[in-house]
Structures are given as structure tokens and as C-alpha cells.
Amino acid sequence: MNKSAILHIPMSQYAYGTDEDHVTIRLRTAKDDIKRCWLHFGDRACRLTPVIFTEAEMHVVASCELFDYYEVKLVHPYKRLCYYFRLESETEETYYYGDCFSAKLVDDRSEYYQLPFNHRADIVRPPDWAKDAVIYNIFPDSFATGKTYISGRPTKSTFEGNVVRGKLGGCLKGITENVDYLKKLGVNAEILKFDIKNREECAKALSDKLYYGVVLNAGIARDNVFPLLEGDEWDDVIQTNLTGFYNVLKPLVMPMISNRIKGRIITMSSVSALSGNRGQINYSASKAGIIGATRSLALELAKRGITVNCIAPGVIETDMIKDVPIDEVKKLIPMKRLGQAKEVASLANYLMSEGAAYITGQVISVNGGLYL
């Protein structure tokens, strides 16, 4: 028996509640190494010693080149579990508990694996749309420069009017030119390409779509002091950042309502909208408008169970701040560092979840304590 390949991690993807009445337990073993496998589980709060255990045979549900993955789903188990595994190979039988292997059991329940409490707050309930989705996480810089290749060199190029920079050479064009490749991988998440400022293009691309959630993340900046601010700089920012709110959400909201989807809408504002910023009158105006629109839409959709919230990032380390004097800005931030995109994304992930169903109409700042 290859014991070094055997793995179980309590309170993880190897042991979790699928709902309040079901618990899934998994075990990894070396491929084709184990003949049979059983889970023995009991009530951790049982007053009897030794604990009375129930036996359930586990079965292989997945395999790869190196490992087999055994699984069993427990129906109406105890709220507080203690458990161990019994493994049988061609040559031996052993017990596996507390990351130890033994030919016999101990009577001390604290030595066994534990699931302290199957609480509803710990249960992950993915939305229905996610159950059939196949998502491929793309890092544009390292994905592709063009059709099927990556240059490996720093780049600065223009793609549909947008300057694209990367250390490894990848760009947005590299993604759109390789959609067929992504589909061959099994990805069924769709890439939609349209101009957010163009109402007709948005309606054409989105009118037949039904989504559980929308993150309205498109935004640009054309910074200039007001006396020198050109009309096209004002129009570009307002049309992209604010008019884009209407253009994208208008075709998507009614399908949510008519299909009774208790969905999620997340918009992106900015710390500049909350306190203003020199040289960003157009940007601040557009992002302040997003806050007002978000709160108003939240009131309209609340009775439908659709939440609408706004995230207001501070100074986040992206290409948008490439010309900002970073060292000076850090002095203004109480946490003395820039924010990371993943820190904004983690909040968006929560607002999309079932756990955020009672949060709507809120503007949540992710800014390290910065208020300009």
C-alpha cells in the first residue's frame, strides 16, 4: 500500500457539507492501489465511550494519471462528526485517522478526524448558472500575442484604440483570436465583443442573454485640469463610464425580472467619486453618477430579490495608474501600499454569493483607508 499518496484534509474540499442534511467525504489514494475503502463515522458529541460508529463504503468517483479519488455522501449525518477510514489493499488492511496509519484503533475520539459542526453558514451554494459553466482563467499578458503564439517580450501596442502593455507580450487581441482554441478545451463561457458606448451594439450583443450576475467594470480615464479639458475627453469618459451603465444593464435587467432570477448586479465607482480629485472632473462626475444610478436601481429591483451594489476602489495597481507618482500617493494611503486587483475581485465574489442576498444599494470602498 502506497501510504505516501493517501491524503485527507478535514474541513476542506475533502470534507464539507453540501447542504444542512448532507456531508461529502473524500479520500485520495495512489492509482489502482486500494482494493476497498470504508468510512466509519459517529457522533462527536456522543456520551458513550467508545463512540458508536456507522460504516459506509466509499467508491472511486474520479481518477488521474497518479491518483484515485474515493467519495461517499452521507445523508442526515450527525451535526458534529468524528470519523476514520479503513483501507484494504492486496497485501494489508489499515486504519487511517489523524494523519496516522494503524493496525488498530484507539478509544480516544479526539484522535479521529473531525467535522466540528455542519453549519449552514459554512455551506457553499453555487448559483444554478455556475453548475454547468466551464471557466478558463486567462492572464492576458501570458496567454497569447496573436494566433496561437506568445512573443515573450514586453509590448506596447494599440488594439481597437486601447493601448495594451504587457511584460510577456500577451494582449486582448491574443484572446479574441483564439476563441476556437478555448472552445476546444471545453470552455463554454462566452466572449462578447461590443462597444459599450454604442447602444445598438450593446442591445444586439446582450438582448437574448440571461445572466445571474453582472459586474459593470468598464471604465476609462482622460485626466486634465478643467480649463484644458477638451470636449471629446469629457464625452469619452461620460459615455464609457456612465452611459455604459444604461447601455449594458438595460437589455439584461428585464430578462432577470421575467425569469424570476434573484440575481446580482455590481458596478464600479471610485474614491474620486466620493471626494473628488484634481484633474479628474470628468472621471469623478461619471463615477459619482454610477453611485446615484446604483442606489436608484437597487430600490427598483429590491422587491424582485435582485441586489445592486457598488464597489469604490482606491488606488489599485493597474495600467490606469501608470502615470501616477506612486511614492507620493502611498504617503496619502494609511496602509502605505497600493491595492491589488484580487482584493477588489474578492469583494465582488462575495457580493455575487448567496451570503450577500440581503445587501443592496451599498457603496463599499476598497481603498486602504484613503479618502482624498
pLDDT tens digits along 88-123? 998 899 999 988 899 888 878 888 999 888 777 777
The reply to whether omega before 313 is within 30° of 0 (cis) is: no
Q: How confident is the model at residue 151 (pLDDT cuts 50, 70, 90)?
A: low
The pLDDT of residue 360 is: 96
Catalytic residues, by residue number, are 283
- pLDDT of 33-62, one tens digit each? 999 999 999 998 888 878 889 999 999 999
- pLDDT of 188-233, one tens digit each? 666 677 888 999 999 988 887 788 889 988 888 888 899 999 999 9
Domain boundaries, the chain: 3-122, 125-191, 194-366
Q: Do domains 3-122 and 194-366 have the same CATH topology?
A: no
- pLDDT of 281-314, one tens digit each? 999 999 999 999 999 999 999 999 999 999 998 8
Q: Which CATH architecture has domain 3-122?
A: Sandwich (2.60)
The pLDDT of residue 52 is: 87
The pLDDT of residue 242 is: 94
CATH 3.40.50.720 fits 194-366, yes or no: yes
Q: Is residue 25 predicted with pLDDT exceeding 90? A: yes
The pLDDT of residue 178 is: 78
